[in-house]
Amino acid sequence: MAVKKKKRIGVLTGGGDCPGLNAVIRGVAKAGINQFDFEIIGIEDGFLGLVEKRKVQLHWERVSGILTQGGTILGTNNRANPFRWPLKGKKEIKFKDISDQVVAYIHELGLDVLVCIGGDGTMSIASQLSEKGVRIVGVPKTIDNDIVGTDLTFGFDSAVSTATEAIDKIHTTAMSHHRVMVVEVMGRYAGWLALHSGIAGGGDIILIPEIPYRLDIIEHVVKDRSRKGKKFSIVVVSEGAKPEGGERVVQRVVKDSTDPVRLGGIGHQVADQIENATGLECRVTVLGHLQRGGTPTAFDRVLATRYGVKAAELCQEGKSSEMVALRGTEIVTVPLSEVGGKMRLVDLNHPLLQVAERVGTCLGR
């Protein structure tokens, strides 16, 4: 009798790191090994590992004890796009499509399915590989919560908790010194992180990319608070926020990256504008990569584990070109083709915006 061949499942983490990545890896591997007798192959440093042919066997012992660990045991990379691979010349960077090379290596490894854990950039690359015949299952990861097709990405809750804790601590120094404190959070072009942490942290003003702010309205709110005895204000601003009629603040451009624009600096711009308009002293705190580090919250550990197990189940069922997602309280799937290259932004009619305004929070409009 012929011995039935084990399914061989590849796993990679792409894009920026965030809490919960290891929990997904663990969920895929443990469910795959324990329930379905899979062989699990980890690809190192995202799609870069597929280009450079770097892999590691993920045995049960290798993924045991990583649930609470931050980052990713596989490593990640946010510049490696096989469809736009940078070739550095003497004067400029040129790009080449080397995806056929990556597809050949996937076949060389004998992978039945490749589980890609990442954000919109990773899902876009995964969708393109799927079109070239690679069997892909996607898992949505980002602290920005901006992936289409899912209510929540893992990593978001952890980042909100970190940002909220920082805002809580900034409150005390703001009150002591009677200052306007501006807290710049991540989020890129979506305002979910600023909106949630701003509401949770009791921000007086929350500025998000979807609502260009008016300086005269912010000035009025800050002055009015001061007149009423509130001699401090907390402003939570998303890195992608911009003034009405103005542009986003770009920190730098990384030409060979899959997402070349690096936002940052809006917090200082807002602080300068407020100080010049009101005469009140302002200070800025940029939370930066703090929001992406550390151990995942209990919520993210559960969500990431559910995502990982569902991904393993899809591999067992022979399904591909799908991304696992959360709809309400249920884990569902959505076609990768509906996800890649798109962003889930804060709808201007979203109930949380109304909640914020009804408790007296200014949204700059």
Domain-by-domain residue ranges, the chain?
8-154+296-338, 158-293
Q: What is the Cα–Cα distance from 178 to 154, expressed in whole angstroms? A: 37
The residue-averaged pLDDT of 78-98 equals 87
This prediction has a pTM of 0.94
Per-residue pLDDT tens digits for 294-332: 999 999 999 999 999 999 999 999 999 999 999 999 999
Cβ-contact 158, 165 below 8 angstroms: no
Per-residue pLDDT tens digits for 116-126: 999 999 999 99
Sign of CA dihedral 15, 18, 24, 29: positive
pLDDT at 257: 67
Give CA 9 to chain center in angstroms.
24
Q: What CATH class has 158-293? A: alpha beta
Catalogue the active-site residues: 144
Count of all residues that appear for the chain in the document: 365
Structure tokens at 145: 């919560």
Q: What is the Cα–Cα distance from 218 to 213, expressed in whole angstroms? A: 8
Q: What are phi and psi of 283, to 5 degrees?
A: -135, 150
Q: What is the Cα–Cα distance from 218 to 268, expressed in whole angstroms? A: 15
Assigned CATH for 8-154+296-338: 3.40.50.450
pLDDT at 3: 57
Structure tokens at 103: 């597809």
Cβ-contact 232, 174 below 8 angstroms: yes
Query: Do the domains 158-293 and 8-154+296-338 match in fold?
Result: yes
| pLDDT grade for 157, boundaries at 50, 70 and 90 | very high
Q: What is the DSSP letter of 337?
A: G
pLDDT at 52: 97
